[in-house]
Amino acid sequence: MADSSPRRDPPESWRVCRGPANWFTFRCPEEVDVFQSQTLIELRRKAPSSKEGEHRESERPALLSMVAWWDESSSDDGHRHTPDLSLLFPQVVSLHPQPPLPTIVRNEVWSGISRRPRSGCWLARVFGRRPHYQWRLWTFRHGRLTIVATVQSADRRPLSAEQLAMCETVLMSLEVADQPAWPPDIFLKQVLELARQHFPLLQASAARGFSVKLGQSEIGLSNFYRMYLQQPDQFRRIMLPGLTSVVRLQELSPQQLVPTLQDVRTRILPMLSADDDQRHDERIRTPWVGGLSIGYVVDEDDSYRYVQGQMLQSWSISPDELHDIAIENLQRYSSDNPLEVTVMGDEDTPRMMMPVKPDAYNCSRILDPQFHSRLRNMFGPEFVVGVPNRDFFVAVSLKEKDLIEQVRTRVKDDYSTMHHPLTRRLLLVSADGVSEFCEA
């Protein structure tokens, strides 16, 4: 590989950004916004003032665009097709190969000049001079994964050396996962293959949304896929227990499917979920705050199942009575399973707290008034909580304005990547209860 341009490591202040499906990471300067849609990523300079409306984002030209895709046709890098330059940059009038970037990911680089298509009235199209622009294209290949990055200049202007240097520094920070995860459609196919392999007597097929029907039951794949993205080498360990649980539920008798309240009363616990979580069953849920709902589960030691409307009718209790039972059990669970935490700050003035270990009921503790009291003794009468996913929360003193902003950013990132996502919004806990945190 040619080493024509020196390796430029990004400054430590540049933040780490992730590509689709955790396929790759790259570093980006703080003064640049990163917009991602499906497999397209665009880097744009931040607006000079926060007063500028969101509608102006498209008016800011992209400093760098990246698109990535997964090719199932072949795993042989040598037979990959080069992107069609005539589609990316029509009416090419000049084309030059450039030395590849000094990265561990195999790449090729092209530069060129293209003309804009003619527009306007027919006289302008015949006699008018068509504006031209410069562009550069980088293609990276790793197994079945292809990443194409492009940048282009304004009309009749060359690409600036500063912009090219920034683009190259970003691209030279590119790190591709050792084992890139399958995209969702391939993941679904692999789940079906696993189900047919282990449960050949049950019919397995793709169902509505991102889910699979196995026998008479449906299993949603969204949370499993998020877990898989974190550990692509653990596909079977992540997916097989879920499929097995679905099969076991189908083998339960009606009495087991709708147990008596006496049999499960001490095992009913509350469980937070996203308010817009699309479910195809009749689980009991109550809208709460911050885009969250409260559901209820029957704990089965190594798993849980949601309380359905049919159960509530059989038990002849109201949703309020169900909630009281769940909170009482949650307080007992918290006593039997003390929360191990990490605290930032000193003993007299703690600034932030978070659990050390993930647990399915970690965020459920936010529903417990006794838990509120303990945290108010630590942080004062009011504090802020972020609950990006089921297993993790972070509590911050209301006095720590800068820290709250850092937590807000981290919560948004974790909400987008972690399994069992809850909400990207922050919550405020006070003596009056829990509400959405809105800054004045």
Q: Is 96 helix (H, G, I), strand (E, B) or coil?
A: strand
Q: What distance in Å separates the CA atoms of residue 296 and residue 285, rounded to the nearest whole number?
A: 7
Is residue 167 classed exposed, middle or buried when 0-12, 13-18 and 19+ CB atoms within 10 A define those classes? buried
Least confident stretch, 6-20, 232-246, 362-376, 402-416: 6-20
Give the rounded distance of the alpha carbon of 67 from its chain centre: 17
Asked if residue 134 has pLDDT above 80, the reply is yes
Question: Residue 176's pLDDT band (boundaries 50, 70, 90)?
Answer: very high
What is the band of 46 on the pLDDT scale with cuts at 50, 70, 90? confident
Rounded to whole angstroms, the Cα distance separating 268 from 277 reads 21
For CA atoms 283, 286, 287, 291, the dihedral sign is negative
Q: Please report which confidence band the pLDDT of residue 121 belongs to, taking 50, 70 and 90 as the band edges.
A: low
Summarize the confidence of residues 95-107 as an average pLDDT: 92
Residue 283 banded pLDDT, cuts 50, 70, 90: confident
pLDDT (tens digit per residue) in 195-245: 999 999 999 999 888 889 998 888 889 889 988 998 899 999 999 988 998
Higher pLDDT, 282 or 212: 212
Tokens matching residue 353 = 């707290």
Tell me the β-bridge partners of 397.
Answer: 383
% pLDDT > 90, the chain: 52
Res 126 pLDDT > 50: no
pLDDT above 60: residue 334: yes
Joined tokens for residue 339: 């929360």
Rounded distance, CA 62 to CA 58, Å? 9
Alpha helices in 380-421, H assignment, sequence order: 401-417
Helices assigned H by DSSP within 251-336: 254-257, 261-264, 309-315, 319-336
For 144-208, give the DSSP string: TEEEEEEEEPPTT-PPPHHHHHHHHHHHHT-EE-SSPPPPHHHHHHHHHHHHHHH-TTS-EEEET
Polymer length in residues for the chain: 440
Residue 2 has a pLDDT of 39
When comparing pLDDT for 423 and 1, which is higher? 423
Q: What average pLDDT does the structure give for the chain?
A: 85
pLDDT reported for residue 403: 92
Residue 406 Rama label (left phi>0; alpha psi -120 to 50; beta):
alpha
Give tens-digit pLDDT for 244-273.
988 887 776 666 668 889 999 999 999 999
pTM: 0.68
pLDDT for 127 equals 46
Per-residue confidence (pLDDT) for residue 82, from 0 to 100:
63
pLDDT band at 108 (very low <50, low <70, confident <90, very high): very high
Domains and CATH numbers, the chain: 15-176 (3.40.1000.10), 181-251 (no CATH), 341-436 (no CATH)
Segment 345-375, tens digit of pLDDT? 887 889 999 999 989 999 999 999 999 999 9
- Residue 292's beta-bridge partner residues? 274
DSSP 8-class letter at 308: B
- Asked if pLDDT for residue 156 goes beyond 90, the answer is no
How far is the CA of 332 from the CAs of 260, 328, 368, 392, in angstroms? 21, 7, 11, 20
Please tell me the predicted confidence (pLDDT) of residue 41. 92
pLDDT of res. 30: 87
